[in-house]
Structure formats: C-alpha cells, structure tokens
Amino acid sequence: MQKFESPAHASLHTLCESEELLNVLHPYAYIQGIVFAVAAAPEIPMPEKWLAWSIKTSNRLTSTEQADNLTDILMKILQVQLKNMSEEKIKLPMGITFNQDGQKQSSVAMWCQGMLFGHSQLESVWQHAWNKMQVTECTQVQQLQKDLSHCLYMFTTFADIPLAIKQADDRGNDQLFNILPKIFLSFPQTLKTYVGLSGRLVDFLPNQFETFEQK
C-alpha cells in the first residue's frame, strides 16, 4: 500500500486516479513537480496563477465543488512543501522513484516534467530576482546561474530518459543508460541546490514573506 506525506497527498492521488478526473487532471507525480517548482520559486505566485496548471488544457472541471476541493487539496500540499523546505527536508515525494526499465516510464520522469513546466511558467520571476541580484552581486550571479543550469540539466535528463540517451549517443557517449542509477544518487543534492539558489535570490527581493504560511 502506497504511503503519503499527508492526507492531502492521499486525496490528490485518489483524484488523479479516479475515473471521473483521470483525463482531466495531470498525473499525480506531475502535479507534485509543479508544487515543488511553485514552493521553490523566489516569489511564490498567487494561487489563481498556478492552480490551473494541474488541469490538462483540453479539459475542465465539471463543477464548482470539484474546483474548490482541488484548490483546498493543492493549497494544503503547498503548505506541507513550504514547511519541509523551511526545515530543510528537501526530497522527492513518497513513491516518486527512478526505474531504469526502458519499457516503463519512471514516476520521477513525470515529476521532472511537472517541475520543469512549473519552472518555465515562473521564468520571469527567476529573471526578476537575477536582475536584482546583478546590481550588487554581479560576480556571484554567473556561478549561481551555472548551478541553476546544472539543476535544470539534471531534471531534463530524467524528464525524458530515452531522449537524453539518444542525445548522449549522438555526442559519442554510449554509457549514459548504464550510469543513470549512479547519477540519480545525486538527485537529492540537486533538489537542495535548486531550493538553495532560490533562497539566495529571495534576499535581493524587497518585502518578501511567506504568503501561505502554515497556520
């Protein structure tokens, strides 16, 4: 039986797997990736901006009750994620794992796809923070941006492993598939680096506060 971080996580998993919403909501792991990107952003976006990212563009929720329930669940999951980050408990959600079996997509691939989508939607937020930092800490910006690129490269690799392997083969590296398990061992540190980068950038943004502080 799968374990979850909180009742809200279990509720989201049930919704994503339900016959009613299976083709409406993105997969559970994908939405978890989105929440991570939102929580780790230098400025947390307002709910009305990011909550809809959990819904496939070609579908809509059929009732206000569904929308309110999903909103409540996602906000609770965001609160859990923010609390974990503030306590430096930064890791993949329970049940999100890497599977080297080429016939089956790893849940971490779906998580990375959601995380990268969330990051792309918040690119302007990151850029605004970089611009503020550039004014006073120009020498540090380049190194930190290099660290961010490394994080995004890691997420991109595991978001589409077949594509990453093909691109590596094209570059003359035919060993990527074999060393992926070893590379994945550094995934937790990559998550911490990504969140840490955001934390550094927050210092350069005025009037920052935890909008969705755990009550």
Is residue 215 predicted with pLDDT exceeding 70?
no
Task: Pick the closest to residue 158 from 94, 113, 103 (CA basis).
Answer: 113
Q: What's the confidence (pLDDT) of residue 138?
A: 67
Q: What's the confidence (pLDDT) of residue 58?
A: 64
In CATH terms, the fold of domain 7-202 is Four Helix Bundle (Hemerythrin (Met), subunit A) (1.20.120)
Torsion angle of C-alpha atoms 84, 87, 92, 95, degrees rounded to 10: -60
CB atoms within 10 A of CB 198: 21
Q: What's the confidence (pLDDT) of residue 104?
A: 60
Q: Where do the structural domains in the chain lie, given as residue ranges?
A: 7-202
Query: Average model confidence (pLDDT) for the chain?
Result: 86
Task: Pick the closest to residue 36 from 106, 85, 99 (CA basis).
Answer: 85
DSSP letter string over 48-81? HHHGGGGB-TT---S-HHHHHHHHHHHHHHHHHH
pLDDT single digits (tens) 79-132: 999 999 999 999 999 888 887 765 567 889 999 999 999 999 999 988 888 887
Is residue 212 predicted with pLDDT exceeding 60?
no
Q: What's the confidence (pLDDT) of residue 202?
A: 77
Whole-prediction pTM: 0.88
- How much is the average pLDDT of 149-154? 94
CA distance 35 to 75: 9
156 band by pLDDT with thresholds 50, 70 and 90: very high
Is residue 135 predicted with pLDDT exceeding 70?
no
The residue with greater pLDDT, 170 or 191, is 191
CA distance 209 to 202: 10
Is residue 209 predicted with pLDDT exceeding 80?
no
Is residue 61 predicted with pLDDT exceeding 80?
no
Q: What's the confidence (pLDDT) of residue 214?
A: 40
State how far the alpha carbon of 97 is from the alpha carbons of 38, 188, 208, in Å.
Answer: 21, 12, 33
User: In this structure, what token pair is assigned to residue 96?
Assistant: 């999100």
- How much is the average pLDDT of 153-179? 88
Beta-bridge partner residues of 55: 25
Q: What's the confidence (pLDDT) of residue 19?
A: 86
pLDDT single digits (tens) 16-51: 998 888 888 999 999 999 999 999 999 999 998 999
Is residue 211 predicted with pLDDT exceeding 60?
no
